[in-house]
Structure 1
């Protein structure tokens, strides 16, 4: 298991969804109305060094589901200006720089580890009262397979498809080199591949 992510009862300015909407409208993989985007759920990984927050959002515009992993840092990530989603003020932790996660080496290393070790997402620890709850997305790594090449970058599947057909050029859920997730919303249960490492 990927450890326990500390969750603070904090106010963020701007809010996470407002920040993501502003960034997503500029992304080539998004062609909808960002103002319609709402959070379905999210899951987290934990930095072994305790410095970088990692949260992956599942958002919907009412018709499609989008996968948007980000990292949170207490200072700027050198050389990653083009991957900056924006900055927020966290009422407990102070200023946070938010990055598109595939550009952050801490996220890349952790998603590789989770996939290679067939691991899961982190549980959530409410810092204020010590309550621990399981991750709201059932994440599972598919094993290393060919995903051990440190030179290959993780492919984040941004527009989520629940198709699971190799003949349709869709990665098989749970197959080696993949990160799959199962979550629930008002329409029921959904399972899809979220990340692929070639």
Structure 2
């Protein structure tokens, strides 16, 4: 489960993305146009230290883009290539925001989701009570017949692009920057739907090596 805080971020996540997205090779949309949120989903960090949130956004009238993010309380060593920016969280203080595909906490979390965990339930603590926030989109896990749940090992390589490839010892994880209609699964896949997009689109999948 993902604990959320009723907080203000300066700059906001969307402001960070408005600056960062146009510099990506896979960017689609109008640079300088408003970034609007389509939906979000989260994974759990078992250690409870890193926030893992995937945002689906649209820039102007461009296509929906999928941007996995991680939120850290300190810089991640050797990850400058993946830094989206920094922001001030009114509850947690300074936060370093990374493209999650380059963050070592993300591949195991994605693999766990593909193995059946799915998305994390989001909640607030209100006067000692847990207040669940309804999801903004539906995430579903599927696997081809006979395919074992993916388990990641050491991360060997991360190749950025329209379909970002995360190579690990047992499996390759693929994250689609632009969600697409689902194909026949040969491994495990994660699909998503949201208001206005009732037909599920492929978000990510795993292929045994």
TM-score norm. by structure 2 comes to 0.80
Question: In 2, are the aligned partners of 1:122 and 1:134 still within 8 Å (CA)?
Answer: no
CA distance in 2, matches of 1:113, 1:148: 8
SS in structure 2 opposite 1:197? strand
C-alpha contact (below 8 Å) 1:124/1:134 kept by paired residues? yes
Aligned counterpart in structure 2 of residue 183 of structure 1, from 183, 194, 206? 194
Q: Which runs of 5+ in 1 are unaligned?
A: 167-171
Q: Which moved more, 1:95-104 or 1:148-157?
A: 148-157
2:173 equivalent in structure 1: 154
Alignment of 1:57-96 (within 5 A): 57-61=55-59, 62-96=61-95
1:13 corresponds in structure 2 to 10
Distance 2:143 2:104 in 1: 20
Conserved 8 A contact 1:72-1:99: yes
2:112 and 2:118 in contact (8 A); partners too: no
Tell me which residue corresponds to 1:120: 118
Deviation of residue 97 (structure 1)?
A: 0.4
Number of residue pairs matched by the alignment: 184
Aligned CA distance change for structure 1 residues 119 and 134 (closer, same or farther; 3 Å): farther
TM-score, scaled relative to structure 1: 0.84
- Which residue does 1:47 correspond to in 2? 45
Correspondent of 1:27 among 20, 24, 27 = 24
More strand per residue? 2
Residue 17 of structure 1 deviates from its aligned partner by: 0.1
- The Cα of 1:36 is off from its aligned counterpart by 3.2
Q: How has the CA–CA distance of structure 1 residues 120 and 6 changed in structure 2, closer, same or farther, with 3 Å as cutoff?
A: same
Question: Aligned with 2:126: secondary structure?
Answer: coil
- TM-fit CA distance, 1:134: 3.7
Cα distance between partner residues in 1 of 2:107 and 2:197: 30
